[in-house]
Structure 1
Amino acid sequence: MDTLETIVTWLCVVFVATGAVPVVAGAYQFLVIPFHGLRNHYGRTAPYFPRVAVVVPAWNEGAVIAASIDRLMRLEYPPESLRVYLVDDASTDDTPDVARAKEVEYPGRVVHLRREKGGEGKAHTLNHGLRTILADDWMQALLIMDADVIYQPDSLRLMTRHLADPEVGAVTAYITEGSDDPNYMTRFIGYEYIAAQAAARRAQNVMGAVACLAGGAQLHSRENLLAIGGEIDTTSLAEDTFTTLRTQIAGRRVVFEPHAIVLAEEPGTVGALWKQRLRWSRGNVQISRVFKHLWFRPRRQHNLGSIPFGLIWFAILLLPATMVLNTAGLVGLYLLDSDYARTAFQATWFLAGSTYVFLTAFTIMIDPATGRRAWREAVVFPGLVSLLVMTVAFAPEVIDTYAVGLLGFDPFTTTLWTLFVYSWISLSMVGAWIAKRVETTRLGRWLTPPLVYLVGYGPILCAITFDAYIKEYRGAAQVWDKTEKTGRVRTT
């Protein structure tokens, strides 16, 4: 092997190893979760019922807002200490009528604020409400929520108890998918939310660095709001993450309360999911750039700059890029006819497969009720094709014996098959894009669900993040497209 070939070979090995970083970071995060039983904030909580102003941004939410307000009025919380401010963002449906009716039904407890100029995004709508709320000193804590979410009766008091500790600036809850008629997509999201919230945010509590206050469940102390400027950032598409990081940078803690349950209606199609998550992903790209001085720089006043938190943040953000690098490395080794090719392929999928089994089992145990509803989606989260590729990696005789012997593959076909399985990590994102396009066709209603099960839900999220890279690079317009709501959240 000459020098150039040696260099290229080892470069390919490095590319393959890069793809392992997100997997290891994800496994580390889940390994930390059991310590939440020892390292948590419950020792400093106490019954505490501050005067809470609930601000609800609403644009054309007539189908859902009445149920949300009614449930807020029935929370296990002192009625005299709870007010709801519905900020109507120039709605063109019956949202204003519903809001005015609730204002009459709950005098002094529901306030309707109307913006005549709307469409500027959630942050601008929230700030319109904040200016009114902060104009007097009644409010001691502020709850930011979405118009469609349903708070369980005990959720608010479980959150406010953390504010008894003056070092806590904000608290978030566990948002769970709550459709009363779940389809394949909402079940995938329900499973994802266990992993991304109930599991990951417990780990972040342990690490002392929380990545994001859930947009539909953000409880802030008045002191914290004033410390971060008294308004919500309007420069990015991830105003909730921006606020979360600023709170911790200012020296106050952010706490995840896993027992405060909030039900939300989530997208039921690939297209709707893509629109929602593209906004989230672009926002995270923007946040990474704005807070570039923060990463991997440990500080005494907060843990956002810690090495573990930084690795977890970028493991998620850069996952599509590492998938492409991994594919380049595997294909490169194969084309070089390197002895490392099969070993690297097997190591990649053994690590991914074993981590997948561990994370799936752990995730389902954290929220068994959701796990029972979405166990099929949990099993095929990476996609049926990925499960096949894992089998090929764990049992290479599938290629050597079955593909070549029983199926009669000739050398050329065998090469194409091998390149396919070596490239699937990246090809799965292409498959996700195809699923999105197929959904808009006449037969999309029937073809898209099985295609998603084949490609996997995880690859769809990665493809969306890759799309976010492109949109940010091109400087595409920042449009705050909200997810259309239909009132499908169960209320009992």
Structure 2
Amino acid sequence: MVRTRTPRGHWVLFLLSGLVLAAALLLNGFAHGAMGEGHGSHSKAAGLPPEEATRAGPVLRPGPGPVRSARPASGTIALTFDDGPDPTWTPRLLDVLRRHHAQATFFTVGARVAEHPELARRMVREGHEIGSHTYTHADMGAVPGWRLRLELDLTQRALAGATGRTTNLVRQPFSATPASLTGAQWAAAEAAARHGYVTVLADRDTGDWRRPGVERIVERAIGPAPGKGASPGGRARPGAIVMLHDSGGDRAQTVAAVDRLLTRLSARGYRFTTVSRAVGLPPGDVPASATDRAVGGALIMSQRLAGWLVGAMTVLFGVVTALTLLRLALMVLAARVHVRRTRRGRRGRGRPPTRRTPFTPPVSIVVPAYNEEAGLAATVRSLLDTDYPAPVEVIVVDDGSTDGTPRIARELARHPAVRVVHQVNGGKPSALNTGLSHARAEIVVLVDGDTVFQRDTLRRLVAPLADPRVGAVSGNTKVANRGGVLGRWQHLEYVIGFNLDRRLFDVLQCMPTIPGAIGAFRRQVLASVGGVPADTLAEDTDLTMAIGRAGWRVVYEERALAWTEAPSSLRQLWRQRYRWCYGTLQAMWKHRRAPAQRGPSGRYGRRCLPYLTVFQVVLPLFAPAVDVFTLYGLVFLNPLKYVVVWALFSGVAALVAAYALRLDGESLGPLWTLPLQQVVYRQLMYLVVFQSVVTALLGARLRWHTIRRTGTFGTPRVDSLRT
């Protein structure tokens, strides 16, 4: 096998993708007001606004010296609309204004301009004026100075990108008339003035956002009748700036009220125009620079892409959650079917067919060994210490070990049932095929050099081969070194994987893997598929797929227990799982044509490969993004919804894990590590899949990663490990 270095550049791509995703989610969360849109509490330290400001006109320009303000000219009405643009209500209001040949001023929320730039362009095209209402509808009097500046600057960029214009008019969210100004709002108006903004308030607040009724909105917009204090100086037709809204909810009443208001007041000779024209100021919006237009265009594109991404992530979140729960449900259902089926079979009414005498033919056990000095002796001794009644031979293949393995093998060969074969290092498949060539029995058991059998394991493992339709049997691998948190995590993974996944595969007759730690085969089956394949790193998966495609049944015997030493560090775990995952991808690619074929190969391929593709490749690839989106939902969306979903998922996963542990006769104690496993261990497995997929796509060949053994098995008997 070509030994090339694993590509590393894709981790930079992975990190950049993660940063882009996080930035997009943050931008979308910020744009939709999840970072302080609500009306914040104003600090008492801000004091009160100057009395002259509360009695001034609605157009204010704070600065050194007296407060400067302006009022609309007599007979002039400036209709203003806040909170838009809205794709439903803004076009309807624009239609009404156009029908009456009236102009207005729209105080737009920058984030909504970025979402609907075509509406902002229509406003400008039809002669309306645009002002700033901040980028996220933030309370300018309650946010810090940097946030206020950011809100105003981003809105300018959005307007420049959408319309090619910027504005010097601003209306603070949650503000109304000069008389209602708070000290904090006045301080915000002063800060905005230092950046060149004119603050626009209103003479008449219609309160249309409360939907009080069309007539009530019209009455408030018209104001008190002359002679009742509404016309300073006794003007018969006082001008006014009227506050309305074109977004933020159902604005049907506003649309109807504007139509009625324009009809009534136009008949009285009122002129409807923009704020700037009404008070005699230059236009509030002016052409933007080329730089501002370019930056604004990039902002609009980024926000729209972020919105699309969040929408796609919402769908993905639902799909992944549904598929995960579906998989758990299928595994539990299949496990119950498998339990009932095996119980019937053992009573003589199902698989395997009953015989008058137990099925105990001679067995050859092949143990490939490369640098297995830590556990080889315990492995071989456990194979010899068996209650299997028929002759058993153990063939140890020393695959060019460089440690004490050859010496230990020679000592073990003193037993008459043990034979040792030495060869130049050729890899595990080569060692297995060498052992098969020396095997004498028709039933062959393949065992890793770090695995220990119980006394009854061999008898239980071989028993299902009494059924002539069964070509191979998978045993039940158990984690022996489960002392720490990492060991408990792997223990849970093994129990759930073997007791639920393998039962499901057995029921569906599409077993993808007989583990190298424990598997029994017919020699004729191995010969028919060409022996153990050497062109993939997951030779056990490749071999099992070939057997399944050949039409043989591959079954799972949960009572055939084999104890193995799991990796004791995250680095060792990564190396092992990286090889497994990459090898599985190789095997899936090698057998990719199976689903399109007829007969046993097609049936096997259509059941096995789609399942592996969806649940072992696609979902793990998307899972990190889904986890990031879950955090986003907790912060920016409805946190209760995502807490409930997470709690539901965790609860179901815990119940399923408990069921698997009970099926396997294991203690429920390790379940306390499950929540942490979901947060830490699962992420590591996702990264393994990502690394493996990228390595495969880049066409790199992965070398065989050897796991360092620590010698978990100090004695040949391991029955005590079950407790």
Partners of 2:595 and 2:602 within 8 A in 1 = no
Please give the secondary structure, in 2, of the residue aligned with 1:380. Answer: helix
Hey, what does 2:465 align to over in structure 1?
Answer: 163
* Matching residue of 2:429: 123
Does residue 484 of structure 2 align to residue 174 of structure 1?
no
Q: Quote the Cα distance in structure 1 between the aligned partners of 2:498 and 2:363.
A: 24
* Amino acid in the other structure paired with 1:63: A
Q: Write the deviation string for residues 26-62 of structure 1: whole angstroms up to 9, x where unpaired.
A: 3322232111133346433352112211110101112
Preserved contact between residue 364 and residue 370 of structure 1 (Cα < 8 Å): yes
Give the residue type in structure 1 aligned to 2:541.
Answer: T
Aligned residues: 405
Residue 268 of structure 1 corresponds to which residue in structure 2?
568
Q: 1:28 to 1:44 in 2, by over 3 A?
A: closer
1:205 correspondence with 2:506? yes
Q: Give yes or no for the alignment of 1:111 onto 2:419.
A: yes
**Contact 2:474–2:556 at 8 Å: present in 1 too?**
yes
Name which of structure 1's ranges 25-34 and 165-174 shifts more when overlaid on structure 2.
25-34
Q: What is the aligned counterpart of 2:673 among 377, 395, 407? A: 377
In 1, distance between residues paired with 2:333 and 2:317? 24
| Match of residue 540, structure 2, among 231, 240, 250 | 240
Tell me the residue number matched to 1:94: 404
Which of 327, 339, 342 is the equivalent residue of 1:25? 327
TM-score norm. by structure 1 comes to: 0.75
Structure 1 contact 54–82 (Cα < 8 Å) conserved: yes
- Determine the structure 2 residue equivalent to 1:400: none
Long gaps (5+) in structure 1: 384-455
| Aligned residue runs from structure 1 range 25-104, under 5 A | 25-40=327-342, 42=346, 43-45=350-352, 46=355, 47-78=358-389, 81-104=391-414
> Is the contact made by 1:173 and 1:260 (CA closer than 8 Å) also made in structure 2?
yes
1:320 aligns with 2:620: yes
Q: Partner of 1:19: helix, strand, or coil?
A: helix
SS at match of 2:668: helix
Matches within 5 A, 1:270-419: 270-295=570-595, 303-306=603-606, 310-311=610-611, 313-326=613-626, 345=642, 349=646, 352-372=649-669, 374-383=670-679
How far apart in 2 are the matches of 1:298 and 1:458? 37
Structure with the greater alpha carbon radius of gyration: 2
Shift of 1:201: 1.1
Name the aligned partner's letter for residue 82 of structure 1. V
Query: What is the DSSP-based 3-state SS (H/G/I as helix, E as strand, rest coil) of the residue aligned with 1:44?
Result: coil
The verdict on how the C-alpha distance between 1:328 and 1:62 changes in structure 2, with shifts beyond 3 A counting, is: closer
Summarize the alignment of residues 209-220 of structure 1 with structure 2, pairs less than 5 Å apart. 209-220=510-521
Deviation at 1:170, TM superposition (A): 0.3
Instruction: Give the Cα–Cα distance (whole angstroms) in 1 for the partners of residues 660 and 671 of structure 2.
Output: 10
Quote how far apart the aligned CAs of 1:258 are: 0.2
Listed one character per residue, the Cα deviations across residues 100-120 of structure 1 (whole Å, up to 9, x for unaligned) are 12212x12x1111001x21x4
Give deviations 1:351-375, integer Å, cap 9, x for gaps.
Answer: 5334323323323322343533x23
Cα deviation, 1:317-340, whole Å, max 9, x if unaligned, reads 2232221453576689999x8x8x
Match of 2:695 among 452, 471, 477: 471
Instruction: Tell me, in whole angstroms, the C-alpha distance in 2 between the residues paired with 1:51 and 1:473.
Output: 45
How far is the alpha carbon of 1:7 from its aligned partner? Answer: 6.5
Relative to structure 1, is the Cα distance of residues 156 and 333 closer, same or farther in structure 2, using a 3 angstrom cutoff? closer
CA contact (8 A) 1:122 1:480 kept: no
Give distance in 1, aligned partners of 2:566 and 2:438: 30
Q: Could you tell me which residue of structure 1 aligns to residue 51 of structure 2?
A: none
The structure richer in helix per residue is: 1
Distance 1:9 1:191 in 2: 33
Query: 1:174, CA displacement in angstroms?
Result: 0.5
Q: Distance in 2 between matches of 1:221 and 1:184?
A: 39
Deviations 1:90-137 (A, max 9, x none): 112221122112212x12x1111001x21x42112212222333xxxx
Unpaired runs of 5+ in structure 2? 1-86, 88-114, 117-303, 719-723
Q: Percent identity?
A: 25
**Residues 398 and 420 in structure 2, CA contact (< 8 A), matched pair in contact too:** yes
Counterpart residue type for residue 555 of structure 2: V
1: distance between equivalents of 2:676 and 2:659?
15
Q: Does the C-alpha gap of structure 1 residues 328 and 51 become closer, same or farther in structure 2, counting only changes over 3 Å?
A: same
Do the aligned partners of 2:634 and 2:640 also contact (CA within 8 Å) in 1? Answer: no
Judge conservation of contact 1:330–1:344 (CA < 8 Å) in 2: no
Work out whether residues 433 and 532 of structure 2, in 8 Å CA contact, stay in contact via their aligned partners in 1. yes
Residue 421 of structure 1: aligned partner: none
Write the letter of the residue equivalent to 2:566. E
2:630 and 2:407 map into 1 onto residues whose CA distance is 60
Q: CA deviation at 1:467?
A: 1.6
Give the alignment of 1:414-429 within 5 angstroms.
none
Paired amino acid for 2:674: A
Which amino acid is the alignment partner of residue 387 of structure 2?
Answer: E
The superposition leaves residues 253-303 of structure 1 with CA deviations (integer Å, 9 ceiling, x where unpaired) of 001100011111111110110011000010111122222223487855675
Call closer, same or farther: CA 1:313–1:218 in 2, change over 3 Å.
Answer: farther
Residues 376 and 331 of structure 1, relative CA distance in 2, 3 Å threshold:
closer
Verify the 8 A CA contact 1:52 1:140 in the aligned structure 2. Answer: yes
Q: Residues 307 and 88 (structure 1 numbering): CA distance in 2 closer, same or farther, change over 3 Å?
A: closer
8 Å CA contact 1:173, 1:258 repeated in 2: yes
Q: What letter matches 1:113 in structure 2? A: V
d(CA) in 2 for partners of 1:298 and 1:332?
46
The amino acid of 2:662's aligned partner reads M
Q: TM-score, normalised by structure 2?
A: 0.52
Aligned residues of 2:385 and 2:455 also touching (Cα < 8 A): yes
What does residue 450 of structure 2 align with?
Answer: 148
Output the aligned Cα RMSD: 2.9
Deviations 1:378-424 (A, max 9, x none): 343213xxxxxxxxxxxxxxxxxxxxxxxxxxxxxxxxxxxxxxxxx
Structure 1 range deviating more: 272-281 or 314-323:
314-323
Distance 2:631 2:689 in 1: 23
Superposed CA deviations along residues 426-467 of structure 1, whole A, max 9, x for unmatched, are xxxxxxxxxxxxxxxxxxxxxxxxxxxxxx222221221222
Residue 703 (structure 2) pairs with residue 482 (structure 1): no
Look up the equivalent residue of 1:476 and give its one-letter code: A
Closer/same/farther in 2, CA of residues 364 and 132 from structure 1, 3 Å limit: closer
